Structure 1
Amino acid sequence: MSATVLTIEDLEAFKNQLLAEIKSLLASLPTNSKQRWLKSHQVRRLLTISPGTLQHLRITGVIPFTKLGGVIFYDLEDIQKILIERKIGGQSSR
């Protein structure tokens, strides 16, 4: 039985690949007014995150939202902006 060792470079490569896939998904979404507002399940599917992770991002103020009648909506432009602002290795990295 052999063990697999992950290096920091492996993790960096995985992170870059994941960010590229998220960016690709966001770029493939239609930007017309019909798709501006997304529900929680759409955001979770888009970012491939769990309900708990989305709730954490919402509670900590990372992702802004609007709540109407018990339904939470997210602005697609806000999500795209957050991803760009938090991009690592680019000019807009923190």
Structure 2
Amino acid sequence: MEISEIVTKADIKQLKEDIFEELRRNRFFGAKAPSKKEWLKSYEVCGLLSISKGTLSSYRRRGIVRYSKIGGLMYYKYEDIEALLLKK
């Protein structure tokens, strides 16, 4: 005789959140992540957050992400992007 288990919407929602969190963690801490860099360029941040350049620009304007501008290039602290990714 087989025992059945009822799965609720809350169970499915929690599973989905757990899977997304694991995917975010793996993407950020995986082999492609720039693990020892203190500063990231815009294209690296876009890749890590899976966002477009326009979205990153919007994040800067709205104060969602901190940055430093040096010689016309935007740089982002690795730890700030890590915190944003884990919060996302």
- TM-score > 0.5, shorter chain as reference: yes
What residue in structure 2 maps to residue 67 of structure 1? 69
Q: Bigger relative contact order, structure 1 or 2, given CA contacts below 8 A and separation 6+?
A: 2
Q: How far apart, CA to CA, are the structure 1 residues paired with 2:53 and 2:21?
A: 20
2:56 matched to 1:54?
yes
Q: How far is the alpha carbon of 1:16 from its aligned partner?
A: 5.2
TM-score normalised over the length of structure 1 = 0.64
Matches within 5 A, 1:3-82: 13=16, 17-28=19-30, 29-32=33-36, 35-82=37-84
TM-score normalised over the length of structure 2 = 0.67
In structure 2, stretches of 5+ residues that fail to align are 1-11
CA contact (8 A) 2:49 2:85 kept: no
Query: Superposition RMSD on alpha carbons, in Å?
Result: 2.4
In structure 1, stretches of 5+ residues that fail to align are 1-8, 88-94
Instruction: State the identity %.
Output: 32
Aligned length: 75
